[in-house]
Amino acid sequence: MKNHMKSLADARPARLDPPGTPPLTFALTEMPEKSRRFRAAALIPAGGLAAAAAATVAVLVIGSGEAPSGPTPSAAPLTASQILLTAAEHSSQDHPGTGKYLLFRTESGTVMTVGSGSSTYQMTDRTSNETWLSRAGTEPTRVISQDLGMTPTTPADAAAYQAAGSPAQVLVGKPLPTGKLGPGTPAGVAGGARRTSTTDGANIYALGATSISVRDLEKLPADPAALRTALLKNFDGGGSDLPTDREQWLLGVASTLIAEIPVSGPVRAAAFRLIAGLDGVRPLGVVADQHGREGQGFAFTATNAFTGSIEHRFVIDAATGRALGEESRVLQPGGTTAHFGPGSLLGYTVVLEQRVTDQRTMDPWGQVRRAG
C-alpha cells in the first residue's frame, strides 16, 4: 500500500534500520533495498528532544527597588497536566488558515551501532524532510529529503571513530527482535544531495496500523472525547512495536498528533487534553531539543518484548503550544535494543516548520510553481 511514510522511507538511505549493536565481525553483503518500515505511529520514532535536566523558572520580584536579602524564590515545577493543558490552550488558538498546501519540515536522527575493522561504536544518521501536502487531497504529495550524513553520537564514539581511522564507510548491522543482528552492510558516512519524490497514494499517514489521508486528518475532531473515540476505532489489539494495552496504545497514537503528524492547532489541543487524562505521563521541566531550543517537557514509557522499555520525551514551545521536537531513549534494553545501555538515545525529530500556503513546492529542477 502506497503511503506518505513509504515515500519518506524511499527517500531516506537504506541504512536506516532500527538501532542495534553489531557483532565485532561482519559478513559483507550487498546493500539491501531502502527501508519500507517507517510509520508515523511507530513507538520508536525517527524522531527527537534532547533530554536536559529539569529546571525551575525564576519569579521576577517587583518591590521597592531594594535588593532582596535572601535567595530569589522560584516557581514550583509544572505538573504534566499543567504542561499539557497550557499547551492545549495555546494550540486551540492556532488555526491553520486557508492555504491550499500544508508544509511540514523536520529533521530526524537515528542512532545505529556501526563497525569498522574490529571496532564498534555508535553514530547518528540525520535526515531532513520537507513535505508538501495538498489539503484537499487532489494533488500528489511531494517530499524533498536530504541525507545529512552520519556523525559519532557521543565523545566516546568520536574517539573510537577517530581511532579506527575516521573511515568514509562503515558497516551497519540490522537489529533483530532476538537482540542479535544480521550481517553488516556498508554505508557511507557523508551526506547527499537533496532529492524529490512524489506519491499519488491517498493514505499518507497512519494511526496505529491504519493508514489515513490528509483529508482524514482535516476531519479529526477538536473535542478530546470525540478524538478518543475516533482514534480507538483504529485499535486492533496492537502488537509488534505497538502496545497491546488499549490505554497505552491510545497514549502512543495520540502523541503522534503532537510532533509527527501535522494536524491543525485545535486538533492538537484535543490531543493534549486527551493525553492529560491518561495515566503514565510525567513532567520533565524545562528541556531542550536537539537544536538547543528550550521548552516544557513531558514523557511516558512504553514497554514490550520487541523493543524493551523506551521513554518517549516531548518538548513543547510554551508560548505557542507547538512541539519543538521529541526523542526516544532506552530505559531497560530488550529485543531490538538489547545491546544499548540504559539512557541511550535511539532517535529524535525536531519540527522546524509547519504552515499552510498557496505556494507550491519547488520542482526537481528548482522552479517554483504557484497554485492557479
Whether 269 contacts 222, CB under 8 Å: yes
What is the per-residue pLDDT across 327-369, written as a single tens digit (0 to 9) for each? Answer: 999 999 998 888 888 999 999 999 999 999 888 655 433 444 4
What is the per-residue pLDDT across 277-294, written as a single tens digit (0 to 9) for each? Answer: 999 999 999 999 999 999
Phi-psi sector, 268: left (phi>0), alpha (psi -120 to 50), beta:
alpha
pTM greater than 0.85 (yes/no): no
User: What is the per-residue pLDDT for 52?
Assistant: 33
User: What is the per-residue pLDDT for 201?
Assistant: 55
What is the per-residue pLDDT across 36-70, written as a single tens digit (0 to 9) for each? Answer: 333 333 333 333 333 333 332 322 222 333 333 44
Round to whole Å and give the CA distance between 293 and 272.
20
The SS3 assignment for 369 reads: strand
Q: Which DSSP category does 337 fall into?
A: G
Whether 360 contacts 369, CB under 8 Å: yes
Q: Which residues pair with 302 in a beta bridge?
A: 310
